[in-house]
């Protein structure tokens, strides 16, 4: 996707520059700058599920504060009246989702992640009298997957809702539908989205783990686990071990690996828990780290594969709870594990590298080379995540309305720290460069950037023939634009000024929809066509050389733009011919006089720059005249 910059009307932040050259030279530019490719798009800074990206408990954010003032980082907002409870938060699609009990019912609430404004409430069932002293084990965090969100109640109801509207799509009952087994403190599960499957752990004899069609809830398979008679409070993970994709889950009696068809691959009973397990397994290559907590063992096992068989070989063991993990918060960085109990452990030997006294009722999250401990009284501690030694950088005590333990695990997403205190959610700004305003790019700045690219290519750049320069959109911004547009399989996406074709390729690859890229530049057309061939989406994507100002866009249901404001305004008469309900999404530039329906701010992981995404629904509505 490209930005068309008119010299007379120049605005916006320049993120990365590529010249108008053929596909062969373009490859050299990409190799020199080492961008994220379409084949491996950068993960956006979101926290879509319990333990975040890959269930690693490590946020993908970069550029965070490494020191705090005495009163902590800036407080962006606080939201109240969320309902009583300790479940953690999911952050995705510019929203924060949280569960809470109020007025005799449990509600899922969606908040605007930038402002804390409540967007909607959805009643998901009656309130459950959970045991207050033990419910911290059951932080039933919502799981967001695209346009759907999944929640599990303490009664054992699995509910799929629309992530944008909170309307129920389908639901299942763990007890009646799967013969699931209730845990000692109510049901707790963290559904896992894997492709078109939703992997759940009802527990019990016949349906220890099940796979559902995530769009309909239809049962695809169920795996009986006769050796594991109880439920679990652990989270299932997906990993490839010895070349086999599999689901790994811990139960009170031990751990199990199951292939994607529901067949048991291996069982380990090295690390039994007491009443239930709350620890989530950690996988590195063919090694699996298991822990039980509460004075029980932890162990590292190696899985050796021979044909269809797996052998579990103990590598090392920590006996009697030396590891100290009372909760599901082990995180692996390199060759070292960090946990909520203040321990740093060498993975392959189980040796204690360092420890610090952290109170029992504490939780933790890791991000940007740092550990964020949350103590039971609410105190937040920032420490370096390094095996060399424990180095505390800062601490502060947030304001707290409740007098209960601060059970809820902290969450970091989009440069923000989310701290739940029962009925209230606090949001802090962790970004080093906060509220960085857009500065109009000047012609000298563009010329300098073009010169840097020319120097890499060791050839001069010819001046643009149609007053345009090709500026790539970071891949994580591309993916967010498609999410904001709520692209679906039956949509038709037009990208005006398609550049290297990344947005139409991403739309076809991720959503399976048809897409057309338009560009007047023959070199950009060649690059786009090569990208389409490389990603094997020629059956869905067409690239057309055409002047966008002569284009009939009425065949599209989604139009994407990266233009200047004057160009956007000039396109309005064409855009108004789109069928009603079509969406228009623009990167960094709005349309003067036409307020967007949705505005999303994000920091790209590719350039650490602030990007704005604007969305309108046709017909475009003019701002009222004052």
User: Among all chains, which residue has been given the structure tokens 């783990």?
Assistant: 209
Q: Give the model's pLDDT for residue 295.
A: 63
* Residue-range domain boundaries for the chain: 23-42+436-617
Which residues, listed in sequence order, are joined to residue 84 by a DSSP beta bridge? Answer: 101
The CATH architecture annotation of domain 23-42+436-617 reads 3-Layer(aba) Sandwich (3.40)
Rounded CA-CA distance 310/250 in Å is 17
Cis, bond preceding 619 (omega within 30 deg of 0): yes
- Show the tokens assigned to 258: 């199951």
Distance of alpha carbon 21 from alpha carbon 29, whole angstroms: 10
What does the pLDDT read at residue 625? 59
Tell me which residue of 505, 502, 501, 527 sits closest to 514, measured CA to CA.
Answer: 505
Please give the Cα distance from 459 to 247 (Å, whole number).
51
Instruction: DSSP for 456-492, please give it.
Output: HHTSPPPPPTTS---BPPPHHHHHHHHHHTT--TT-E
Residue 542 tokens read as 């067409």
pTM of the full structure: 0.66
Q: What is the model's pLDDT at position 446?
A: 41
Torsion-angle region of residue 166: left (phi > 0), alpha (psi -120 to 50) or beta? left
Structure tokens at 477: 């911004």
User: Can you read off the two tokens belonging to residue 554?
Assistant: 């009425």
Tokens of 24: 């062969």
Distance CA 111, CA 276 (A): 33
* Per-residue pLDDT at 609: 78
Q: Where are the beta strands (DSSP E) in 163-236?
A: 168-173, 192-194, 197-200, 209-213, 219-223
C-alpha distance from residue 464 to each of 33, 396, 468, 469 (Å): 22, 54, 6, 7
- DSSP secondary structure string, 489-557? TT-EEEEES-TTSHHHHHHHHHH--EEEEEES-HHHHHHHHHHHHHTT-TTTEEEEE--GGG---TT-S
Cβ–Cβ < 8 Å for 78, 104 = no
Low-confidence ranges of the chain (pLDDT < 50): 4-44, 435-469
Q: Report the candidate in 451, 403, 445 with the shortest Cα–Cα distance to residue 423.
A: 403
**pLDDT recorded at residue 3:** 56
């Amino acid at each position: 996707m490209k930005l068309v910059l008119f010299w007379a009307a120049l605005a916006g932040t320049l993120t990365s520059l590529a010249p108008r050259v053929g596909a062969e030279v373009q490859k050299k530019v990409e190799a020199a700058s080492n961008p994220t490719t379409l084949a491996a798009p950068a993960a956006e800074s979101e926290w879509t599920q319990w333990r975040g990206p890959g269930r690693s408990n490590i946020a993908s954010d970069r550029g965070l504060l490494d020191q705090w003032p005495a009163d902590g980082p800036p407080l962006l907002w606080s939201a109240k009246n969320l309902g009583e409870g300790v479940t953690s938060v999911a952050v995705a699609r510019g929203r924060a989702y949280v569960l809470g009990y109020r007025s005799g019912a449990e509600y899922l609430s969606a908040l605007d992640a930038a402002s804390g404004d409540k967007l909607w409430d959805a009643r998901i069932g009656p309130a459950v009298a959970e045991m207050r002293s033990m419910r911290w084990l059951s932080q039933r965090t919502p799981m967001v997957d695209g346009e759907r969100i999944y929640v599990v109640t303490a009664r054992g109801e699995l509910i799929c809702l629309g992530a944008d509207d909170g309307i129920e799509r389908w639901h299942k009952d763990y007890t009646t539908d799967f013969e699931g087994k209730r845990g000692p403190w109510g049901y707790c599960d963290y559904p896992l989205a894997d492709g078109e499957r939703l992997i759940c752990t009802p527990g019990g004899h016949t349906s220890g783990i099940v796979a559902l069609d995530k769009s309909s809830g239809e049962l695809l398979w169920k795996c009986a686990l006769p050796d594991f008679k109880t439920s679990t409070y652990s989270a299932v993970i997906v990993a490839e071990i010895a070349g086999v994709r599999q689901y790994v889950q811990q139960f009170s009696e031990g751990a199990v690996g199951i292939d994607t068809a529901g067949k048991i691959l291996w069982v380990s009973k090295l690390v039994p828990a007491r009443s239930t397990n709350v620890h989530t397994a950690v996988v590195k290559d063919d090694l699996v780290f298991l822990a039980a907590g509460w004075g029980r063992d932890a162990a590292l096992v190696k899985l050796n594969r021979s044909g269809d068989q797996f052998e579990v070989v103990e590598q090392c063991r920590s006996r009697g709870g030396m590891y100290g993990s009372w909760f599901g918060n082990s995180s692996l960085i390199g060759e070292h594990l960090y946990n909520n109990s203040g321990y740093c452990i060498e993975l392959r030997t189980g040796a204690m590298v360092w420890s610090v006294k952290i109170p029992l009722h504490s939780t933790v999250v890791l991000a940007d080379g740092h550990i964020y401990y949350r103590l039971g009284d609410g105190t937040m501690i920032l420490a370096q995540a390094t095996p060399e030694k424990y180095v505390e950088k800062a601490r502060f005590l947030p304001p707290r309305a409740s007098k209960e333990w601060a059970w809820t695990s902290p969450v970091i997403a989009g440069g923000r720290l989310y701290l739940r205190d029962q009925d209230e959610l606090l949001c802090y700004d962790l970004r080093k460069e906060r509220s960085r305003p857009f500065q109009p790019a000047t012609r000298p700045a563009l010329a300098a950037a073009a010169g840097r690219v020319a120097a890499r290519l060791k050839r001069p750049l010819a001046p643009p023939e149609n007053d345009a320069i090709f500026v790539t959109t970071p891949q994580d911004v591309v993916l967010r634009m498609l999410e904001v547009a709520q692209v679906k399989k039956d949509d038709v996406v037009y990208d005006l000024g398609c550049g290297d074709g990344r947005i139409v390729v991403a739309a076809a690859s991720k959503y399976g929809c048809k897409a057309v890229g338009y560009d007047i530049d023959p070199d950009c057309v060649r690059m786009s066509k090569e990208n389409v061939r490389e990603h094997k989406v020629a059956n869905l994507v067409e690239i057309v050389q055409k002047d966008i100002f002569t284009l009939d866009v009425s065949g599209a249901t989604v139009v994407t733009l990266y233009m200047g404001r004057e160009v956007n305004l000039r396109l309005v008469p064409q855009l108004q011919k789109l069928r009603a309900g079509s969406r228009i999404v623009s990167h960094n530039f709005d349309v003067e006089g036409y307020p967007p329906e949705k505005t999303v701010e994000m920091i790209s992981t590719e350039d650490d720059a602030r990007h704005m995404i604007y969305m309108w629904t046709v017909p475009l509505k003019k701002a009222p005249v004052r």
